[in-house]
Amino acid sequence: MSVRNRWSRRLFVATFLVPPLLLYGIFVVSPYAQAFQIAGTNWGGLSPDYDFVGLDNFRRIVDDKYFWNALKHNAILLVLLPVVTIVLGLFFASMISVGGRRDRVGVHGVRGAGVYRVVYFFPQVLSVAIIGVLWKEMYSPNSGLINGALEAVGLGSLAQPWLGDPRFAFWCVALVLLWSNVGFYVVLFSAAMQSIPRDIYEAALLDGANRVTTLLRVTVPLVWDTIQVAWVYLAILAIDAFAVVQIITDGGPGFSSDVVGLRLYDTAFKEAHFGYASAIGVAMFFLTLTVAAMFLRVTRRDRVEL
């Protein structure tokens, strides 16, 4: 290839790569960099005046009981959300994809599998705002569907002010996060299972494997790459969880359902401490990066070739 042709090719590639990279740098990388800068100041968000305080904001995080309370809730979600979502997603996807009756045709999915996938995926069609408002109304103590259903079946004694009781508020939000995410991973795992040859399932059937054994010894190893990606995404969601919490409980009552993302938001926009809020954001950045790297490391295993 001549020098002229090489330069023409590089110019052609640069013409398509430079503009999007420039936009990405301005609108994505630049705000991240500014957050690191603001984290070292006492900026209030409105006045152009501020002073550099160095690492004082990060020292403040160490002594901030509200931050550690929020982080505790994120830690619970970090354990609960990926585990329960992936287990339920694998179970439902397995039932849809290979849970039908085993006959002379072989192993196949249940009847109406496409309909089930649509039903499970439906929460993904709704925006986070709609999901939050919908469940907030369902939890309403007087007119909510949950207490109304309990009254209708004669279990009115179990009715509670769900979002107004510190014992239940956080778990109510966790339930919403599970409900809104399981369906997506059911469809994702179902798609991954479609690539597994049915001969493998039929061989497991001939060897006398039951459904649980087939799921654990055949399906899970063959879709492990997909499970690993799901685990990382759910971990990131658990560290954030801002939108649903802010809409349903706003961290209450008494900070009983607070999360770090909401703590950052309140610190910046309600207390006007943008410098400290940026320090919380930087801490979240490194926490998310660490958790993602750790999950990828822990869940790494040899790829199973078909």
**Structure tokens given for 108:** 């196949």
DSSP label at 52?
B
pLDDT at position 219 is 87
pLDDT at position 59 is 94
pLDDT at position 1 is 52
Determine the angle formed by the axes of helices 274-298 and 224-240, rounding to 10 degrees. 160
pLDDT at position 19 is 86
**Structure tokens given for 60:** 């403040």
Q: Taking the CB of residue 12, how many other CB atoms lie within 10 A of it?
A: 10
| pLDDT averaged per 10 residues in sequence order, the chain, 306 residues | 68 80 89 90 86 92 95 95 94 80 57 81 90 94 90 91 94 95 92 84 77 84 90 90 93 94 94 94 92 81 58
pLDDT at position 102 is 56
Residue 226: closest CA among 266, 203, 201, 194 = 194
Q: Taking the CB of residue 31, how many other CB atoms lie within 10 A of it?
A: 9
Q: Are 96 and 183 in contact (CB under 8 A)?
A: no
Under CATH, what is the fold of the domain 65-298? Answer: MetI-like fold (1.10.3720)
Helix ranges restricted to H, the chain: 3-24, 30-38, 56-62, 65-98, 113-125, 128-138, 145-152, 169-194, 198-206, 211-214, 220-222, 224-240, 242-248, 260-269, 274-298
First to last CA, the chain: 40
pTM: 0.87
Largest CA distance in the chain: 84
- Domain parsing of the chain, residue ranges: 65-298
Residue 293: closest CA among 237, 232, 225, 226 = 232
Q: Is 207 left (phi over 0), alpha (psi -120 to 50) or beta?
A: alpha
φ, ψ of residue 106 to 5 degrees: the values are 120, -160
Q: Which residues are bridge partners to 103 per DSSP?
A: 106
